[in-house]
Amino acid sequence: MRPRGERIDVRLRLGPERVERVDILSDRTTTAAAVLEGKPVQDALGLLPLLFALCGVGQLTAGLRAVEAAMGIVVPPQERVARALLVAAETVSEHATRMLVDWPRLIGAEADIEGARRVREAAAALQRALYPDPRLRGRIGGGAGPVAAVAVASAAELAGAVADAVLGAPAGVMADAGDLADWIDGADTMPAQVLRAVLREGLADAGVSRVPLLPAIDPYRLAARLDRTDVAAFLRAPEWDGVVYETGPLARHGAQPAVAALRARHGDGVLARLAARVVETAVEARKIVRLAPTSCDTTATVEEPAGPAAGAGDAAVHWGLGVEEAARGRLFHHVVVAHGRVARWRILAPTEWNFHARGALAEGLRRLPVSDAARVRRAADWMVMALDPCVACAVRVEGPAHA
């Protein structure tokens, strides 16, 4: 489910031999968090997930990191583990929905509604096991209260649902390039069928882009940029030191042997991006099983995104930058807290990188070979699906090849 009322329109103008023009028009609201300004900080965090139909957990976790950094609050280890599990469960659930419900539509296959339902219900059960009172997910400083045995059982159920519906085998099958190639060739699950269809149709390298993958960004420089009065243009069309980047599963897993082999053969196009999402689902399922037993451990450690960063204006004004790797890419939240209330709250979301006028989608579309409008349209639809925007996206093709 994507937010109603917001959408991206992609328009391609075809010439006789090439795509002559690409326009990406978005009416996404990039300043939604402004409604939180003026509110007590804890109240604002309670409202934050309600602003987003997708990736609400990722948004909340990034917001918590920003607020806690601004307030100088150190989160206990078991809370960090619980939050990492929440985000991983959401990522697996979001990816499974795309792979089992949305991907089949593009090959004319029937969606695996039952498989998607099982994954989503298992993810929700794990989230309940970690936070029996869901209101405490957004409590500053932490509110997790898991029973370790329940969390472990819920994690195993989620990993099992992923193995059955997405992978057709335990999550470890994505360990190397040979595993992934064998899986694409032989697995019976819907995602494997889709990747085989992409190869059969010659669309593996559709949308190949030379846009670089998003690296680590200096959090203090980014915080300063997000605090400027002209931030609106940056939030709509971000670039860093003049460069537009791609974020998402490919950026996170592009160096893994299983994905790197596809990138070397087919480039950073449709197949590599779809496969990166499959690999990430397997990786996150393994992580969930590994972390769940430590959800009550006061000495547990967990890898987190770079940051957060913090600073102060005066004794009562502080800022924090929170970062989270959500399902669709890297999220940044910048929050200024003044006298216990939100003075500014700004969010830089992944869709604005990937659907930038010079971003991965736009460059890939410009590089498409033009044979007929129908094939261009089909390739464009796959490219949009592979980049997975957080709002609805419509593609329109015009020009001589369309006549």
Q: How far is residue 102's CA from residue 13's CA, in Å, rounded to a whole number?
A: 26
Distance between first and last Cα of the chain = 34
Closest CA to 249 of 265, 268, 236: 268
Predicted pLDDT at 177: 66
Cβ pair 119, 158 in contact under 8 A: yes
**384 pLDDT more than 60:** yes
Report DSSP letters for 220-285, one per residue. Answer: HHHHHHHTSTTHHHHHHS--BTTB--B-SHHHHHTTSHHHHHHHHHH-SSHHHHHHHHHHHHHHHH
Element (H, E) at 47: helix 41-47
Predicted pLDDT at 147: 80
Percent of the chain scoring above 70 in pLDDT: 95
393 among annotated binding-site residues: yes
Mean pLDDT confidence for 90-119: 97
**175 pLDDT more than 90:** no
**3 pLDDT more than 70:** no
Q: How far is residue 272's CA from residue 171's CA, in Å, rounded to a whole number?
A: 19
List Cβ neighbours of 163 (8 Å cut-off, separation of 6 or more).
Answer: 169, 170, 171, 285
Predicted pLDDT at 1: 40
Predicted pLDDT at 42: 96
- 55 falls in which pLDDT band (50, 70, 90)? confident
Predicted pLDDT at 208: 96
pTM of the predicted protein model: 0.94
**307 pLDDT more than 80:** no
Predicted pLDDT at 32: 87
Lowest mean pLDDT among 243-247, 287-291, 310-314: 310-314
pLDDT digits (tens, 9 = 90+) for 121-159: 999 999 999 999 988 999 999 988 888 889 999 999 999
Closest CA to 51 of 353, 388, 345: 345
Predicted pLDDT at 165: 96
* 182 phi, psi to nearest 5 deg: -65, -40
The amino acid at 95: H
pLDDT digits (tens, 9 = 90+) for 179-236: 888 999 999 999 999 999 999 999 999 999 999 999 999 999 999 999 999 999 999 9
- In the structure encoding, which two tokens stand for residue 382, read together? 């796959």
Element (H, E) at 337: strand 329-338
**164 pLDDT more than 50:** yes
Q: How far is residue 130's CA from residue 33's CA, in Å, rounded to a whole number?
A: 27
Element (H, E) at 130: helix 113-130
- DSSP code of residue 110: P
Predicted pLDDT at 173: 61
**328 pLDDT more than 70:** yes
- In the structure encoding, which two tokens stand for residue 187, read together? 């697995």
In the block, which residue shows the tokens 């979301």? 349
Predicted pLDDT at 2: 45
Predicted pLDDT at 402: 44
- 306 falls in which pLDDT band (50, 70, 90)? low
Mean pLDDT confidence for 311-316: 69
Closest CA to 396 of 7, 23, 16: 23
Cβ pair 10, 361 in contact under 8 A: yes
**401 pLDDT more than 60:** no
**Does residue 257 have a cis peptide bond before it, meaning omega lies within 30 degrees of 0?**
no
184 among annotated binding-site residues: no
55 among annotated binding-site residues: no
pLDDT digits (tens, 9 = 90+) for 251-285: 999 999 999 999 999 999 999 999 999 999 999 99
pLDDT digits (tens, 9 = 90+) for 29-46: 888 899 999 999 999 999
Mean confidence (pLDDT) of the chain: 92
- 310 falls in which pLDDT band (50, 70, 90)? confident
Percent of the chain scoring above 90 in pLDDT: 80
Predicted pLDDT at 305: 78
Mean pLDDT confidence for 378-386: 97
Q: Of residues 401 and 260, which shows the higher confidence score?
A: 260
Predicted pLDDT at 73: 93
| Domain limits, the chain | 77-211+248-297
